[in-house]
Amino acid sequence: MALFARFSTFRPIRFVTPKPFHKSRISEMKIEQQRFSSRAVENKTKFSCSTFANVLAFVENERAKMSNANPLFPVLRDASIPVQQRMSFAPYMLYFSLSCPDVLTNWMKIDKPENELNEVEKRINIFVNEDNFHYNFYLRDLETLGWSLDKFGSCGGVLRHVWASESIAVRKLMYTVVSSLRRSADTLVSLTVVELLEAGLYDLFTTVYTHIAKASPG
């Protein structure tokens, strides 16, 4: 759940000037986020994952809470908020997308001959091999959304954005992933991280596609 919680802390980007939220809506979002954080603390009860089936059950249990508890998702579904403002989280994913290949290759991939891999290890490597180049899709989509170099102002503007205080939630997410992988040599932990990321991102992208891409002309 801690991984999912990271997605709730995106803030509107500094140099985007969409229509502001109504003050009452801002207050509602702050209350929602406080409730979400409180539930995350309360839900730190241990969940035993000794098999892949346990991992899937755990992920589905957390996933079922996310789209309602995480305040980012109601914002994405809210047609009264301008599309530009709802999609202002996209540039914050830059650090996540570009650091993923290093994390996957250096901290997750199982460096063994294929015939020596067990089921869990095979699943991990399949995920790594499939997702290692997905950052290219993200970069293409980012430009499609209008985030060209001109939008950031300069190469320095891009770098300052990636390491700005507003982007700390994304960086903490990746640090948390690496920390989780380093603390345990158990491949089932790696697989759990894989499934958490897959579930969270799938629901995020599905929500964007359903409520923004399909519903918005152009």
Average the pLDDT over 144-156 and give the result.
Answer: 86
pLDDT over 80 (residue 36): no
DSSP string, 115-128: GG--HHHHHHHHHH
Residue 9: per-residue pLDDT: 44
Domain boundaries, the chain: 2-213
| Single-letter amino acid code for the residue at 122 | K
> 65 vs 99, which has greater pLDDT?
99
Average the pLDDT over 27-49 and give the result.
Answer: 49
Residue 175: per-residue pLDDT: 93
Select from 65, 46, 48, 53 the least CA-distant residue to 5.
Answer: 65
Average the pLDDT over 164-175 and give the result.
Answer: 91
Residue 40: per-residue pLDDT: 43
Phi, psi of 173 (to 5 degrees): -55, -50
Residue 20: per-residue pLDDT: 44
Query: Of 19-23, 58-62, 138-142, where does mean pLDDT reach its minimum?
Result: 19-23
Average the pLDDT over 205-214 and give the result.
Answer: 91
Select from 151, 20, 18, 8 the least CA-distant residue to 83.
Answer: 18
Cα–Cα–Cα angle for 118, 121, 133, nearest 5°? Answer: 145
Residues 215, 79 contacting (CB under 8 angstroms): yes
Select from 197, 93, 96, 98 the least CA-distant residue to 145.
Answer: 93
DSSP string, the chain: -HHHHHGGG----TT--PPPPPHHHHHHHHHHHHHHHHHHHHT-------SHHHHHHHHHHHHHHHHHHSTHHHHHH-TTS-HHHHTTTGGGGHHHHHHHHHHIIIII---S-GGG--HHHHHHHHHHHHHTTTHHHHHHHHHHTT--HHHH-SHHHHHHHHTSGGGHHHHHHHHHHHHHHHH---HHHHHHHHHHHHHHHHHHHHHHIIIIITTS--
Please list, residue by residue across 10-21, b when 16 or more beta carbons sit within 10 angstroms of its beta carbon and e when fewer do. Answer: beebeeeeeeeb
- Average per-residue pLDDT for the chain: 78
> 83 vs 5, which has greater pLDDT?
83
Highest-scoring range by mean pLDDT, 50-59, 148-157, 201-210: 201-210
Provide the whole-model pTM. 0.69
Residue 34: per-residue pLDDT: 53
Residue 96: per-residue pLDDT: 93
